[in-house]
Amino acid sequence: MKFTVKQIATLLEGEVAGNDALAITGLAKIEEGKPGDISFLSNLKYEPHLYTTQASAVIVDRSFEPKKPVVSALIFVENSYLAFTRLLEEYHKQLIFSRVGVEQPSYMGDGTEVGEQSYRGAFSYIGKNCQVGKNVKIYPQAYIGNNVRIGDNTIVHPGARILDNCIIGQYCVIHPNAVIGSEGFGFAPQSDGTYKTIPQLGNVILEDFVNVGSNTTIDCATMGSTIIRKGAKLDNLIQIGHNVEIGKNTVIAGQTGISGSTKIGDNCVIAGQVGFAGHLTIANGTKVGAQSGVGKNVDQEGTAINSSPAFGLKESMRSLAIFRKLPDLENRVTKLEKKNEKQS
């Protein structure tokens, strides 16, 4: 980022007090601001930092009046917190879409087309007959197999792997070393104790605005598609089995695993390190506590479950509370037994 204070004030529809020609190159908390940084003051608890900060500029509310001299340029806006957030988003967008063009060496197979404003980093590989949209950023060392389609404005980070025939929507982000469309775990036991590989010939479909975290793996379907619906967000180190379907706007935290053919509804919130058995159907709006083990369907929308094996959240909290004092409960039983013995 390289802007003047004046340019930023114009973007945020604010007015400047101080030197509006200063160059801004970074964003920082007000207590950590260095020359070249821009910061903000919203919660007046932090006002003392305003008089000591090294930041070149600080965004403040229009209603704010400094009580001491301020070295930083001030940008007065309607809502300083929202203005700073907008600046963060603008800066972020610029950053992630800043790379354009082709670094060499990189590899592109026959019949593949890549849209304008895209980036292909050094050592990136795109197979044959792929259709890659506009403003797509393929980072160095990323791999894209044959017959893959990628929508506009999607980012494929370094070392991410997208295997043959997968379909990736617009505005998706595939984080480093994620694997999409690899062959899942399909093996048929034979009478001699060995296992025969069941061919996995389907693909993975990510709809628009899907996030796939670092080192997360999404297996292709046996036939048909493993599907991650629009706006779903997957954290790091998640395992998604073959033929799974994840609903719209469902968020899944790190290290959770979902076994083959399970369908998770829309708008679910699934915490970290959860496990789902295969072939389940989980209703829309289900909430699952961390480290839960889900072995049964959830039929009712908006259910909250917890524990391993998972059951109702409230019930599980009660059982877990008693679990912690089980020795006490056992003592109470022993006491009753002794009394009983005396009485008889």
Examine the residue annotation and report whether 157 is marked as an active-site residue of this protein.
no
In angstroms, rounded to a whole number, what is the distance separating the alpha carbons of residues 147 and 165? 5
Q: Residues touching a copy of itself: how many (CB under 8 A)?
A: 98
- Sole binder of a copy of itself in the list 158, 263, 281, 304 (CB under 8 A): 158
Sole residue written with tokens 């910061």: 39
- C-beta of residue 224 within 8 angstroms of C-beta of residue 245: no
Least distance to a copy of itself from the beta carbon of 316, Å?
A: 8
**Bridge partner list, 26:** 37
332 scored as a contact of a copy of itself (CB under 8 A): yes
Pairing relationship of beta strands 287-288 and 173-174 according to DSSP bridges: unpaired
Nearest Cα to 203, choosing from 237, 252, 244, 174? Answer: 244
- C-beta of residue 243 within 8 angstroms of C-beta of residue 205: no
- C-beta of residue 308 within 8 angstroms of C-beta of residue 275: yes
249 scored as a contact of a copy of itself (CB under 8 A): yes
219 scored as a contact of a copy of itself (CB under 8 A): yes
Nearer to a copy of itself, 62 or 325 (CB): 325
SS3 (DSSP) at 330: helix
92 scored as a contact of a copy of itself (CB under 8 A): yes
- Restricting to residues 166-195, name those near a copy of itself by CB under 8 A: 173, 175-177, 179, 182-183, 185, 187, 193-195
Nearer to a copy of itself, 118 or 259 (CB): 259
- Sole binder of a copy of itself in the list 36, 66, 115, 140 (CB under 8 A): 140
Structure tokens at 163: 């295997």
In this structure, how many other beta carbons lie within 10 angstroms of the beta carbon of residue 269?
A: 15
- Restricting to residues 266-295, name those near a copy of itself by CB under 8 A: 266-267, 272-273, 275, 277, 290-291, 293, 295
297 scored as a contact of a copy of itself (CB under 8 A): no
Active-site residue list? 242
